[in-house]
Amino acid sequence: MSSFNRRSFLVATGAAASALAMPAISFGQNKPRVVVIGGGAGGATAARYIAKDSKGEIDVTLIEASKQYYTCFFSNLYLGGFRDYASIGHSYDGLAVNHGVNVVHDWAMSVDGAGKTVALASGASLPYDKLVLSPGIDMKYDSIAGYSVEAQDTMPHGWKSGSQVQLIKAQVENMKEGGTFLMVPPPNPYRCPPGPYERISMIAHILKQKIQRQKSL
């Protein structure tokens, strides 16, 4: 999974250019419609249980940008070499097949609360009766002078899983002798209070193994 935000989604899909050509998407027209924006741990769980507990009486649509969700939880075990990358990735197939959730891989651009529709980057729009917003966090890139969407590919922020964690792992594993690793835990409250401490322990573990390997050469 590459690092994702609204801008990279639009560039990758060419969605802005095709916006005018797209029709409205309509699922389950005779049933109450719930639309969930964001298929992370929060949104996917909401979609799953609304679909399951309503026993098919509510039409549930999940809008999620990525086809594969890489969890933050367990990502530090991947970092330390205790789990493989594939084990922290999850597809949306189970939600569709086992629970009848309509999974739409698209970027929700805006919500019209009065008209009860969600506009998608592809240009389509989705009507709803109830809306669940679960888009997780995003970066304020310009809150740090010099930081940007592009800079995250050389100086990972690590707040999201997927390519950000892969990059941290590769950088630590390839660190040259005498290199410096700098990590800045943010002030509370933040996404995962133990996260930075788990992460730094795993990084120490990688570096210790690296030094032991070098000594034994």
User: What residues line the site for ligand FAD (CB under 6 A)?
Assistant: 4, 37-43, 63-66, 69, 72-73, 75, 107-108, 134-137, 159, 191-192, 195
CB of 216: closest distance to ligand FAD in angstroms?
31
CB of 6: closest distance to ligand FAD in angstroms?
7
Rounded to whole angstroms, the Cα distance separating 39 from 129 reads 19
Query: Dihedral of CA 190/166/5/113: which sign?
Result: negative
**Is 59 or 64 the residue whose CB approaches ligand FAD more closely?**
64
Which residue(s) pair with 131 in the sheet? Answer: 35
CB of 150: closest distance to ligand FAD in angstroms?
19
**Is 82 or 211 the residue whose CB approaches ligand FAD more closely?**
82
CB of 99: closest distance to ligand FAD in angstroms?
17
> By Cβ distance, which residue is nearest to ligand FAD?
40
Rounded to whole angstroms, the Cα distance separating 99 from 3 reads 28
**Is 57 or 173 the residue whose CB approaches ligand FAD more closely?**
173
CB of 213: closest distance to ligand FAD in angstroms?
26
Residues of 4-42 as b/e, b for ≥16 C-beta within 10 angstroms? Answer: beeeebbeebebeeebeebeebeebeeeebbbbbbbbee
Neighbours of 169 (CB within 10 A): 20
Contact between 79 and 202 under an 8 Å Cβ cutoff? The reply is yes
**Is 105 or 116 the residue whose CB approaches ligand FAD more closely?**
105
**Is 57 or 82 the residue whose CB approaches ligand FAD more closely?**
82
- Count Cα atoms within 13 angstroms, Cβ side, for 87: 11
